[in-house]
Amino acid sequence: MTTDSELLHRSRDDPEAFAALYDKYCHAVHRYAATRAGESVADDVMAQTFLVAFESRESFDHQWEDARPWLFGIATNLLRRHHRTEARRLKAFAKAAGRDSYGDGTDRVAERLDAAVATAQIAAAMRKLSPADRECLLLYAWADLTYDGIALATGVPVGTVRSRLNRARRILRDAAALHQFDDKETDDERVNAPAGNA
């Protein structure tokens, strides 16, 4: 099977080889962008991500076989421009989650109110996270990157990723009043998810 590194190397002489990399990751990058900034932004971010990747493919570090962290790093940088949009979406989500439900049975009303309160608390806590902590958390949760992959995507040491994720988890856990979980860091590696490139 051809690695991402091999595809990028081959694309130097045969630009059409880059299309295989696009086909492999375009949906994942689009999904990540849509979740972070909405569908209206996702198409542009996905297209720009692959344009930047194509134009800078010479800078790819071929010691890494997996291009996902490199691509998600590019997408994350582009999404920083849309940070205000993301903050507005979280604010609207928190506001909408706090609304009462109408037309449900009485036993469902209490359930939905509890869920709405918890969702509003988590959304409000997400807005309070620093942009760097939020990016780490979203790259872990939505892009399914390992700690090493997040470090490569964001250009920070793995220890910084650990600190950011630990802080973000603690803030979200406190916001949702989920104190029954212990404070130990979870396993930082995902099953069968190789580290990638920045």
pLDDT one-digit tens code per residue, 141-162: 888 899 999 999 999 999 999 9
pLDDT band at 124, cuts 50/70/90? confident
Nearest to 138 by CA among 172, 120, 175, 165: 165
pLDDT one-digit tens code per residue, 65-87: 899 999 999 999 898 877 666 66
| Statement: the pTM of the whole predicted model exceeds 0.85 | no
DSSP three-state, residue 82: coil
Helix extents (H) in the chain: 4-10, 18-37, 39-55, 68-80, 83-97, 106-128, 131-141, 147-154, 158-175
Give the HSE-up count for residue 74: Cα atoms under 13 Å, Cβ half-sphere: 25
